Amino acid sequence: MAIAWHWFVTYFMISWSIAQANTQENIVFQANYEDLNRGCWEGSFVLNECEERCECRNGELVNCYRVRKDFIKMDILERRRFLDAYKIVSTYPSFRKDYRRVVAYHIMYTPTELLHEGPEIFLPWHRWWLVEFENLLRRVDCRVTIPYWNWSRVANHWWGGFGKEDFWSPGAHGLGGDGTTPNLCVVDGPFSGDKWSLLKIGGGGCLKRNFSYLHLTGDKEHMKSTLALPVEEFLEFEEILREIYHNEIHWYVGGTMFTTEAANAPEVVPHHSFLDKIWLEWQKKGKEYKNVFFYDVPRKFPKTNYYGWQWLDSDNLPDQVKVMYED
């Protein structure tokens, strides 16, 4: 009886394991089958499981790009995916140390005179920093990319008030609005003072804003003429991006954005992503545009092993990162 029982148990265990193994195999097989079914036709473009845009070559997905999108054109789910990931990395203990490290590169490790007051590293440094930031967010959800905020389309009313077009929407899919008196704390959206706070290195306390209702210089017309600048006028192009487009948003949003701790403000990320898109568009005018200037800057980004010239080609960034911007 005992022996029969033993055999029964053994038999049962073995057939159960086989059944398990079969199921496992089926899952793998079905995944492959689904991949094929998804239409990996030679030369076609396919989104992989991280929603990177890949090319199908010999049945494999290659040349996968992170696709950064216009915040205003993202649906509510996509916006929330980004904002939720941002909140998770900036608040959960398991991520917060790395969030602090990424923010600290901007606030502490890189002197602002070097970063913002000349052309030496401003553009490629921020391109590197966006990828660092994006890598962190993608640890929460690998589908997340850094959205860009095209403020040029709303240059004369960038502070919002236009419904779905509104970057500063108070809902869970926006960045919240202007700060309020007396302390300029943001009181709506996912980053309101009761829900979120700045890091100690960011000054602590609530996220602050103090909107100046002034028109931005970088409207669509201005942007067109900036993008039309020839390669010989790179320094002019760079200065417009850095000293006008970049600075104006920091000044006009005010509050935390108008301090050296600005990197702790969530809006800094989509702002810089748009500047990066503008630079990339200009670079696409030709090889000489892509490679101008930074090969002659023999200076590493502080506390990293990178030089600016390593961050010129968005089709081929360090660590095999490829970035494209959807219009």
Ligand X SMILES: *[C@@H]1O[C@H](CO)[C@@H](O)[C@H](O)[C@H]1NC(C)=O
The single residue listed with the structure tokens 């494999």 is 60
Q: Does 277 bind ligand X (CB under 6 A)?
A: yes
Which of 220, 287, 300, 303 forms a contact with ligand X (CB under 6 A)? 220
Q: Does 253 bind ligand X (CB under 6 A)?
A: no
Which of 171, 203, 254, 302 forms a contact with ligand X (CB under 6 A)? 254
Q: Does 206 bind ligand X (CB under 6 A)?
A: no
Sign of the CA dihedral 286, 216, 176, 181? positive
Q: Does 212 bind ligand X (CB under 6 A)?
A: yes
CA separation for the pair 213, 248 (Å, rounded)? 11
Per CB under 6 A, the segment of 57-65, 133-141, 150-158, 238-246 that binds ligand X is: 150-158
Using the minimum distance from each CB to ligand X, give the nearer residue, 26 or 212.
212
Q: Identify whether the C-beta of residue 309 lies closer than 8 Å to the C-beta of residue 295.
A: yes
Using the minimum distance from each CB to ligand X, give the nearer residue, 90 or 150.
150
C-beta of 88: minimal distance to ligand X in Å? Answer: 28
Using the minimum distance from each CB to ligand X, give the nearer residue, 220 or 303.
220
**Terminus-to-terminus CA distance in the chain, angstroms?**
74
The single residue listed with the structure tokens 């053994």 is 10
C-beta of 217: minimal distance to ligand X in Å? Answer: 14
C-beta of 244: minimal distance to ligand X in Å? Answer: 14
Q: Does 154 bind ligand X (CB under 6 A)?
A: no
Which of 57, 153, 284, 299 forms a contact with ligand X (CB under 6 A)? 153
DSSP 174-209: S----EETTTTEE-SSTT-TTT----GGGTSS--B-
Q: Does 164 bind ligand X (CB under 6 A)?
A: no
What angle do helix axes 93-104 and 122-138 make, rounded to 10 degrees?
Answer: 180
Tokens of 271: 């702002």
Residue ranges in 30-89 that form contacts with ligand X under rule CB under 6 A: none
The single residue listed with the structure tokens 């306390």 is 205
Q: Identify whether the C-beta of residue 180 lies closer than 8 Å to the C-beta of residue 151.
A: no
Q: Does 259 bind ligand X (CB under 6 A)?
A: no
Q: Does 210 bind ligand X (CB under 6 A)?
A: yes
Q: Say which residues have a Cβ less than 8 Å from residue 190's Cβ, sequence separation at least 6.
A: 83, 87, 172, 174, 175, 176, 196
Using the minimum distance from each CB to ligand X, give the nearer residue, 56 or 123.
123
Rule CB under 6 A: which residues touch ligand X?
150, 152-153, 184, 210, 212, 220, 223, 254, 277-278, 281
